Amino acid sequence: MEAQPDEEYMETAITDAEGGEEELIKLLHIKGEDADDDDEDHNKKENKNLEELEEIIGYKFDNKSLLEEAFTHSSACSSSSSSSRSSYERLEFVGDAVLNLLISKEHYFLYPELSSGPLTRLRSANVDTEKLARVAVKHGLHRFLRHTKPCLEEEITKFTQEITEFPLHSNGLIDVPKDLADIVESAIGAVFIDSNSCLDTVWKVFKSLLEPIISPGTIKMHPVTELYEMCQKNNLNVRFVDLWKKNIGFHVYIEDQLIGRASYGLKKDIAYNRAAKDALDNIGRMKNTASNTTKFSLNTIKS
């Protein structure tokens, strides 16, 4: 005959089970409260960041979500917890067009003597990736970028160090994290949308942030363009030798004489630009040592 558990044992077991259930409910309740507190702290931090961003930009948003979107990289939208977020890409698209229009308008009226060619080069210098990335670093906008992109922080640190060698613009001699320029354009797009598409408001907000704006007196020629124009003017043949696969570099020959060289492991076009710059620097030194000649020639290079 099967043994029956005594009543006292059963009562104890039931009491223990009920007590355990109560403890479990209490534990879950506490965890839920902790999660709510974490969410509240996170929201407070987010709001504080948005307020600081508004102070830097100098504009109060009616729709704060636009500002949040403007500083959200696509990598921060991939996790399930952030699935409701939108990246800055659409606002960047708008901001790019708005900035080009504003710079074109400003220069058109500011420099009535300039033809379309110089105006185009001037606009390009003021809206290119490096120029806008400098704006982001100068005002610390990159500190608010939400992302999970590997190595981006290291890239930004390196860029911040390298621009010290070129106070205004490197003209293609350094590697630029495009994400920095993107958030400037997306911020412009966000202000444009939030202000009911008011171009005057956008320009009032961003004109000072974009300083120093490159002018006809401060714009520099790209080293490759400068080298080709100089050689053409002096009837000299210039040739770049691609050694990227061999030593991640380029050699520059003028009339079959090696004049410049450079290597750069990250990007091929930067190695190309640096080789041109090296050639120009060497030619400059040669011209200084042959200052008694009035016309630059192959003999100047060979001397």
In the predicted model, what is the mean pLDDT of residues 158-186?
96
Residue 274 lies in a domain: yes
pLDDT band at 288, cuts 50/70/90? confident
Residues 131 and 198 in one domain: yes
Residues 94 and 183 in one domain: yes
Is 50 exceeded by the pLDDT of residue 101? yes
In the predicted model, what is the mean pLDDT of residues 148-171?
94
pLDDT band at 80, cuts 50/70/90? very low
pTM: 0.79
More confident residue, 279 or 15: 279
Residue 46 lies in a domain: no
Is 70 exceeded by the pLDDT of residue 268? yes
Residue 285 lies in a domain: yes
Residues 202 and 97 in one domain: yes
Residue 3 token pair: 């043994």
Between CA 53 and CA 67 the distance in angstroms is: 8
172-194 b/e (C-beta count within 10 Å ≥ 16 → b)? bbbbbbebbbbbbbbbbbbbbbb
Domain span holding position 268: 223-302
Residues 234 and 294 in one domain: yes
CATH of the domain at 145: 1.10.1520.10
Residues 113 and 146 in one domain: yes
Give the per-residue pLDDT at 303.
43
Contacts of 265 (CB under 8 A, 6+ apart): 248
Strands 238-243, 257-263: pairing kind: unpaired
Which of 206, 236, 262 is the last residue before a domain boundary?
Answer: 206
Give the per-residue pLDDT at 292.
54
Residues 119 and 175 in one domain: yes
pLDDT band at 266, cuts 50/70/90? confident
Give the per-residue pLDDT at 77.
85
Which of 206, 232, 262 is the last residue before a domain boundary?
Answer: 206
Residues 93 and 202 in one domain: yes
Is 70 exceeded by the pLDDT of residue 219? yes
Residue 25 lies in a domain: no
239: β partners: 253
Q: pLDDT > 90: what percent of the chain? A: 71
Per-residue three-class SS string for 3-69:
CCCCHHHHHHHHHHHHHHHHHHHHHHHHHHHHHHHHHHHHHHHHHHHHHHHHHHHCCCCCCHHHHHH
Residue 33 lies in a domain: no
Between CA 7 and CA 10 the distance in angstroms is: 5
Main-chain phi, psi angles of 222, to 5 degrees:
-65, 135
Residue 37 token pair: 């507190």
Residues 199 and 230 in one domain: no
CATH of the domain at 255: 3.30.160
In the predicted model, what is the mean pLDDT of residues 120-149?
96
The least confident of 77-81, 89-93, 113-117, 229-233 is 77-81
Which of 181, 206, 231 is the last residue before a domain boundary?
Answer: 206
Residues 194 and 247 in one domain: no
More confident residue, 33 or 248: 248
Between CA 224 and CA 35 the distance in angstroms is: 57
Residue 81 lies in a domain: no
Identify the top-confidence range among 13-27, 67-81, 98-112: 98-112
Residues 178 and 129 in one domain: yes
Over the chain, what is the mean pLDDT? Answer: 86
Give the per-residue pLDDT at 15.
54
Residue 227 lies in a domain: yes
Residue 240 lies in a domain: yes
In the predicted model, what is the mean pLDDT of residues 237-254?
95
Residues 254 and 202 in one domain: no
Residues 164 and 233 in one domain: no
How would you class 168 by CB atoms within 10 Å of its CB: exposed for 0-12, middle for 13-18, buried for 19 or more?
middle
- Domain count within the chain: 2
Distances (CA, A) of 258 to 9, 32, 250: 98, 71, 11
Contacts of 292 (CB under 8 A, 6+ apart): none
Give the per-residue pLDDT at 298.
61
In the predicted model, what is the mean pLDDT of residues 144-163?
94
